[in-house]
Amino acid sequence: MAVPTNIIGDWFSRQSPQKRIAILDGIASTMHHRNKQPLEKMASELAAGLMAVCAEDLGLSSLEMAGLLAHPKKDAIASLVTVLRGG
């Protein structure tokens, strides 16, 4: 059953500013940086990383988190946009 809220964005907004920076730095450090990588690929990697960190913090597996989202990929990217806007 899908939950109609922005789980990831809501979770991220409850983190302290220092924790937010640490989360984003941690995700960025695991990304595979390639020259001329398409923006869509980078956004997808960031969104997936954010979803994984959120799931871990909530005590869920990535599959369990995905099960809570109506459209996991779309919802994760929407959450990323919320985060980048200042959440």
| Domain boundaries defined on the chain | 17-30+38-84
pLDDT band at 45 (very low <50, low <70, confident <90, very high): confident
The alpha-helical segments, DSSP class H, found in 1-87 are 7-13, 17-30, 39-57, 62-68, 72-84
Q: How far is CA 32 from the centre of its chain?
A: 16
Distance of CA 82 to the CA centre of its chain: 10
What is the mean predicted confidence (pLDDT) over 5-20? 87
Measured in residues, the chain has a length of 87
Chain centroid offset of residue 46 CA: 6
> Considering the entire predicted model, what is its pTM?
0.78
Average pLDDT over residues 23-40: 80
To the nearest whole percent, how much of the chain has pLDDT over 70? 87
